Structure 1
Amino acid sequence: MSDKTIADVLQENFKCAQCGECCRVGGQVRISLEEAQEIADYLCVDMSDVASFPFQVRDDFPGTYFLEVTSPCFFWNKLEHTCMIEEVKPAQCRTYPFQCLTDGDCSFEDACVCPSFRRTVVASLMAPVED
């Protein structure tokens, strides 16, 4: 019998469909200061201009911005259905629907909105069990 968990199967088999569904739901995206600087550089704006973005700073998370994601995300290009900062998007966006913590543990973040995640779950549940 295989020692693989459902999380292992999902991480091995998950393929993002680039549908942007995750960019069109509300929530918060954690953005490190380094990521904020990369975004500012990519958009050719000063770091001081980042204050015009819908970022929040919270006392309980020093050195981290929180992007308040309305529907759709501030950086979602509605006309082209793409992320305006695709090349420098924050780690939380790059790894969605997996939320990986600093200790290497991963969980699934609001995965029900992700069609690729749902397909992967169904496929893994219907796959034959290895002996």
Structure 2
Amino acid sequence: MPTPKSRSTAPVRSPWYADGLRFECTQCGACCSGEPGYVFIDESETAAMAKELELSVAEFERKFTRPVGNQTSLIEYPDGDCIFLDPKSRHCLVYQARPIQCRTWPFWDSTLETPADWQDTCDVCPGAGSGQLYTLDQIEIRRREKSV
């Protein structure tokens, strides 16, 4: 008779940010501008933004989205700024209906991988590293909403 395999008793390592991180959105628009990238959206996000702008979903998709592989992304201005970043006020034109990817900033896999990645985030985002203290649980909820 085979013997049962023993279970690993190795301790589970807490992430480096286990004591929490501070963040308070200043609505400066820094996270919405700069290098070109992608803001991937799904059907429910598309519908919410279309409603916010009082457009049909079809019109919203035609004006503001582009296919990227089998996904859909918001389009950008030629300088890389999000199409919904108002060039004058630097505020989001669909803030109340912004996509999950935007709502979960700065708690993304890519910004939380190492303390250096978080510091890079703090260097470009005036709200990262200051303001409200988010607990590990609060950070993990946001981080898991969408992999970025």
User: What corresponds to 2:124 in structure 1?
Assistant: 113
SS at structure 2 position matched to 1:13: strand
Q: Which whole-Å CA distance do the structure 2 matches of 1:7 and 1:29 have between them?
A: 25
Structure 1 counterpart of 2:124, one-letter code: V
Deviation at 1:107, TM superposition (A): 4.0
Deviation at 1:116, TM superposition (A): 2.9
1:1-131 equivalent positions in 2, closer than 5 A: 5-9=15-19, 11-25=20-34, 26-61=36-71, 65-70=72-77, 71-99=80-108, 106-108=109-111, 111=121, 113-117=124-128, 119=129
> How much identity, in percent, do the aligned residues show?
27
What TM-score do you get using the length of structure 1 for normalisation?
Answer: 0.66
Q: Larger Cα Rg: Structure 1 or Structure 2?
A: 2
Deviation at 1:73, TM superposition (A): 1.2
Deviation at 1:4, TM superposition (A): 5.8
Q: Which whole-Å CA distance do the structure 2 matches of 1:59 and 1:7 have between them?
A: 33
Equivalences, count: 107
Q: Unpaired segments of 5 or more residues in structure 1?
A: 100-105, 121-131
Deviation at 1:5, TM superposition (A): 3.5
Deviation at 1:59, TM superposition (A): 4.3
Q: Is the 8 A contact 2:29 2:91 kept in 1?
A: yes
Aligned residues: CA RMSD: 2.6
Deviation at 1:96, TM superposition (A): 1.1
Q: Which whole-Å CA distance do the structure 1 matches of 2:21 and 2:62 have between them?
A: 39
Q: Unpaired segments of 5 or more residues in structure 2?
A: 1-12, 113-119, 131-148
Residues 14-66 of structure 1: CA deviation (Å, up to 9, x unaligned): 222222101112211011110001111111111110233341224444xxx21
